[in-house]
Amino acid sequence: MIPCITKDAMKLLVGTADERYNFSPEYFRSTHYPQIMHRYYQHQLIQEVTEKELFDELVQVTELGNRVYIVFGSTGAGKSELLCWLKDQWEFQKIDRPVIRISRTELNPQVLINKCFQTLGLGLEIEIDEERWNVLLKKPITIVNQIVWSTLAEFFETDEQIVPISLLMRPIIEQNIMDFAQQVRKGDVTSPLEVLSEEQFQDAVNGTTLNIEVEYELFRRSLVQKLDHFLFHGKDILSLMKQLSSLLAEKKIRPLLLIDDLVQSINLYASELLDHLITLEEGHWDVVVGLTPGALQDSAKGAALTTRIMNLDTIDDRVKKLWLSDEAGSVFYTLGKENVVSYMERYLVELKRSQGYVCSTSCKMAKECSRFLLDPAGSLPLLPFNEPFLNRLYDGIPQGKGKLRYMILHTKEMLRFFQQGNRKGMTKVNAYVQREKYADHPDQVLKLLAEWFADFESSQVVLPRALVERFGSNKEEVTIPIQNIKMQSSPLRSVKQEETREQTDIMTYLRDWIEGEKVNLELLEPVRAGIASLVQDTVKATFVSRPFTSRTTSVIQRTAIEKRLRYPIAFAPGQKKSQEIIVPRTTSVFGIAGFQQLKLQDRKDSFAELSDELSTAEWIYQGELFQRNWTKEMEQALGMSLPQFVYRFLEWVSQWGMVSNEAWAANVRSPFTVKVQEIAESMFHDWFALRENMIDADWLGRVGGNLDLEEWEQFKLQEGVFEKYSVGDEPFQVFFNALQKSVREYQRQLLPLVDEKLHEVKEMLPLLGMINADRKDKIESIIQFRESSDRLTLSLAGQVCELDDWLRFIKTMPEYQEIVSLQEMVRTEFSLWREVREQTLEFLSQCGVEMALKIPEIRDPLYLEDVQLVQGGWGRKQQELQLLNKILLRMTPDLVAALFQKDSDLLFNLSQTLTLCAFRECLIKSLEGNYVRTKDLACLVGHSVVDFQNLYLQWVQAKENRNVRNEIVKYLIRDRQWCVEGNNLDEEVLYAYLRTDRDLKEAIKDTLTKLILKGQVDVGVHHIRDAIQQISEKFPSIHEKLILTIKFDPKDRLL
């Protein structure tokens, strides 16, 4: 392609510093790129250290003791490059101190000791035979057998213990050494030598029943020591290093020791050696050690040492930690994208110079080479590349790979591809370049070239004729349109490096898919998500509502998820082609990837760019088809149109809502909550609102029609279809089934209240009929309907509400108030009548008169006949009873009893006996509830003026006199011992006895006679006193009775 890039020149593009240095120190120096390291303190960057600063510090000796520099860096970060440059500069500048470098390929620990002693010119007490290292690698079984047996002999006393443990451990150690030897023979050492890892030791101990009471660290240390004795003729490497350190102190020599990779080179002694160099107080070493983070984690001691190095600041005075990259190998501090062009220019210029060419405009081949420039102002030293190409080649290096090394290796492959001009190598080198551009061209090679060389800001690339001819295409230059395939992202959004890399990977997979390569479609998920977001933003197909209105959302939405999205989007047609959005293999998908993650304003700008694409129109059209099909699916399952459904639902909710607001239903919890009513209203507006506060009345009139809400209450949702939809934040079917269930329970709880209300109305039917006969017929029909139905329908609930409203209205009418007043009067009169009647009967009962009388009751509420009864004479009956009560209040119980019992003996001295007997007949009639005739009423009125009190006093006096007479007779018989049968003592017998009793004075005889006949005496006081005195002597029983009963007033009169 160009004469200065030949096969021999490409051999100089090697991946390690030692290979370049072995070719020529000058070539190494010309291609070496200055290294930059970071120094941290407590995770904070405190210094950027250049390789020159590190070199100058090593040259200067200002302190005693060891100085140790640990250079951290992931694989390929440039640790070997730095140490090779330090050794080269040490020798080039002829520093008068010895320098020793152990490269990563020098795996024999004998080399470390030999180099140290030989470089320093010191004699070694033993002769190191490096052939023993080869014997170990060739005959591991023989050597390991000796090492294991001698090691076990230190820990166990008998062969019975040693033999089984040897059979257990020896195969593991042999296999480790054989695996290492195989790597050495292949020249690719990826795993350093380890005689026995802790994991292997623990697995062996846990997997056997043998009692192995040996600590791993002690066992391993003994094994390594026995290996040292084999390699160093009975010596171990640490004792030799200590001996060497003593000689250095004695001879005052301070060498520079460079170890490319502590783990790769001398893994067996990494922890011990590093610990020796760090902790040695009187050392004379300057040591620079390369270390890969995490390399010492295989053993507990190594992990502890790594923790000490990484985290403890107590060793910072003698140990400096420098970083060529971050711990993960994501960021390399020496080579960044901003200086990759200058880095590669060094190599390309030196390659061409090695072939005898000085790449400049003065070169004799400059004109020929300039034919390959895409831009006349392009750089000849970069040929066959340009700046955009090298930047893309840098971006193509995999994560965690060393930028310095892989940049060279990939450049070598790309040069070979251009040199050969073979299309077959396109697949291999294509993976090395990060293509953020997409070229639309049928020729795959020209397409790739355009994507590689295109300027970052151009919309097309012109491939020169020479470059096109190189790959056997047209003989003319080719102009190819290109476009950016960077993932959409918001400029205000903070994008981390990992996210940026992830976006780049997605676009790479997408580009490969467009180009027909096999790609895991799961990696292209941002494309499907972007299409779904675009369709949702423009069509809102998942919103089940009337299209083309101002509504920004809807209550009913399709929530079914198909492969993590609400829209069926596929990269290849399925069985149901019409029901999927097929992603086309066109460049339009680049703009849609990441659309979902954009902010609202950024989406608008992005949509403006995407709107010119045919695919965008097809996606939007397909979204509209989805919306129509999904609406049709719901309507078929509902058996009605969605506008009819939401209108009926609103009416149903509204009417039940009005029922729940009625006073008679207020104590039952209603399922028609504010949330349900808001959902119903929002659903209605989703279909009938043209804009805010404007309803499409014309369409509502056509859609509404006659609503059969009774049928709606029995409506049941089909299984399956509605699982894909939601109402608000609930699944559609769950929402409606739960609502219908709660409504049925609500109806069940309302039914007793309805019955109670109808019972109240039924009791008032006669009264209501007096006001409105037509309404009475309607009420009767409602009651009949309820009696024939076992559930509460919306119609019945509405009629009850209407009836309740009518009753409240009726109660405000004057006619109703008049009837109510009449009812109250009847109740009051009847209450008084009952009270008087009860008092009268109670009084009669107290008087000893029992009458079995039936007491009539009054109904509440009153029927019409009750009111008519009042109007027909109930009031007169009340008046009669009140008059009777007044008469009875003036009588005494005894007198009442005498009247009712016709006791003429007790009434013998009452002149009104016959009249009172007539009064008695009238009284009984009145109490029995019969009407009193006119003459009977006259009798009651006539007796109302009788002085019943005087009659009572007369009757009481007569009764008392009779009681006294009976007592006197009884005592006379007892005191005088008269022989009389019973108490029969008439006047003649009495006189006979008194006349014949000579002891009694005439005055006493006279007094006794009056007492006997009248029960009283009306003689003067002085006479009665004398009589009492004589009676006390002659009649002690009578005297005792008189003393208890006779009293005198203050004027000394007898009471």
H or E stretch covering 605: helix 600-610
* Max mean pLDDT range (197-201, 421-425, 957-961): 197-201
What tens digit of pLDDT does each residue of 79-102 get?
Answer: 889 999 999 999 999 998 888 888
Calculate helix-pair angle for 814-846, 875-889, nearest 10 degrees.
Answer: 30
pLDDT interval class at 472 (50, 70, 90): confident
User: What is the model's pTM?
Assistant: 0.57
| Cβ-based neighbour number of residue 241 at 10 Å | 21
| Region of poorest pLDDT, from 26-35, 305-314, 553-562, 645-654 | 305-314
| Region of poorest pLDDT, from 665-674, 677-686, 897-906 | 897-906
Q: Is the pLDDT of residue 215 over 80?
A: yes
H or E stretch covering 483: strand 478-484
Mean pLDDT of the chain: 78
What tens digit of pLDDT does each residue of 164-195 get?
Answer: 888 888 888 888 888 877 777 776 666 677 78
Predicted local confidence at residue 705, as pLDDT: 58
DSSP string, 406-439: HHHHHHHHHHHHHHHT-GGGHHHHHTTS---EEE
Tokens 């675009």, residue?
534
The three state secondary structure string of 697-725 is HHHHHHHHCCCCHHHHHCCCCCCCHHHHE
CA distance 48 to 37: 6
What tens digit of pLDDT does each residue of 56-77 get?
Answer: 999 988 767 788 898 988 888 8
Predicted local confidence at residue 325, as pLDDT: 87
Predicted local confidence at residue 801, as pLDDT: 85
What mean pLDDT do residues 993-1008 have? 70
What mean pLDDT do residues 112-141 have? 76
What does the CA dihedral 704, 710, 713, 717 come to, rounded to 10 degrees? -60
Contact 717, 736 (CB under 8 A): yes
CA distance 202 to 196: 10
Predicted local confidence at residue 543, as pLDDT: 92
Burial class (CB in 10 A: 0-12, 13-18, 19+), 569: buried
Contact 383, 345 (CB under 8 A): no
What tens digit of pLDDT does each residue of 881-927 get?
Answer: 666 666 666 666 776 676 666 554 444 444 455 555 666 666 666 66
Q: Is the pLDDT of residue 78 over 70?
A: yes
Predicted local confidence at residue 92, as pLDDT: 92
pLDDT interval class at 607 (50, 70, 90): confident
Q: Is the pLDDT of residue 494 over 90?
A: no
CA distances from 699 to 619, 695, 707 (A): 30, 9, 15
pLDDT interval class at 270 (50, 70, 90): confident
What mean pLDDT do residues 936-947 have? 60
pLDDT interval class at 677 (50, 70, 90): very high
Predicted local confidence at residue 914, as pLDDT: 52
Predicted local confidence at residue 909, as pLDDT: 47
Q: Is the pLDDT of residue 490 over 70?
A: no
Predicted local confidence at residue 726, as pLDDT: 93
Percentage of the chain modeled with pLDDT above 70: 73
CA distance 115 to 637: 89
| Region of poorest pLDDT, from 255-264, 655-664, 723-732, 905-914 | 905-914
| Region of poorest pLDDT, from 544-553, 587-596, 620-629, 918-927 | 918-927
Q: What domains sit in the chain, N to C, each tagged with a CATH number?
A: 34-123+238-334 (3.40.50.300), 129-231 (no CATH), 497-636 (no CATH), 639-812 (no CATH), 830-946 (no CATH), 953-1045 (no CATH)
Predicted local confidence at residue 882, as pLDDT: 65
What mean pLDDT do residues 37-45 have? 86
What tens digit of pLDDT does each residue of 747-777 get?
Answer: 899 888 888 888 877 767 766 666 666 677 7
Predicted local confidence at residue 701, as pLDDT: 80
DSSP string, 562-599: BTTBSS-EESS--S-GGGSEEPPSSTHHHHHTTGGGS-
Predicted local confidence at residue 492, as pLDDT: 37
Angle 754-758-760 from CA coordinates, rounded to 5°:
120
Contacts 24+ apart (CB under 8 A), 1045-1048: 1048/1021
Contacts 24+ apart (CB under 8 A), 717-721: 717/637, 717/638, 718/637, 721/633, 721/634, 721/637
Contact 235, 229 (CB under 8 A): yes
CA distance 877 to 870: 10
Half-sphere exposure of 288 (CA within 13 A, CB side): 26
Predicted local confidence at residue 926, as pLDDT: 63
DSSP 873: I
Contact 66, 222 (CB under 8 A): no
Q: Is the pLDDT of residue 292 over 50?
A: yes
Query: Which of 343 and 933 is assigned the larger pLDDT?
Result: 343
Contact 701, 783 (CB under 8 A): no
| Region of poorest pLDDT, from 145-154, 243-252, 426-435, 1016-1025 | 1016-1025
Q: Is the pLDDT of residue 491 over 50?
A: no
What does the CA dihedral 253, 256, 261, 267 come to, rounded to 10 degrees? 0
Nearest to 616, CA basis, from 546, 537, 722: 537
Tokens 């009418």, residue?
813
Burial class (CB in 10 A: 0-12, 13-18, 19+), 562: middle
H or E stretch covering 460: strand 460-463
Query: Which of 257 and 303 is assigned the larger pLDDT?
Result: 257
b/e map of 53-92 (b: 16 or more CB within 10 Å)? ebbeebeeeeeeebbbbbbbbbebbbbbbbbbbbbbbbee
pLDDT interval class at 346 (50, 70, 90): confident
What mean pLDDT do residues 442-451 have? 87
Q: Is the pLDDT of residue 150 over 60?
A: yes
What mean pLDDT do residues 846-856 have? 64
List Cβ neighbours of 802 (8 Å cut-off, separation of 6 or more).
none
H or E stretch covering 691: strand 689-691
Predicted local confidence at residue 178, as pLDDT: 83
Strand 256-259, strand 99-102: pairing: parallel
Predicted local confidence at residue 3, as pLDDT: 83
Predicted local confidence at residue 1022, as pLDDT: 57
DSSP string, 26-86: HHHHHH----EEEEEETTEEEEEEEHHHHHHHHH---SSS-EEEEEE--TTSSHHHHHHHH
Q: What spatial distance separates the first Cα and last Cα of the chain, rounded to whole Å?
A: 168
What mean pLDDT do residues 936-946 have? 59
Half-sphere exposure of 956 (CA within 13 A, CB side): 10
Q: Where are the alpha helices (DSSP H) in 707-813?
A: 709-713, 732-763, 765-771, 773-788, 794-810
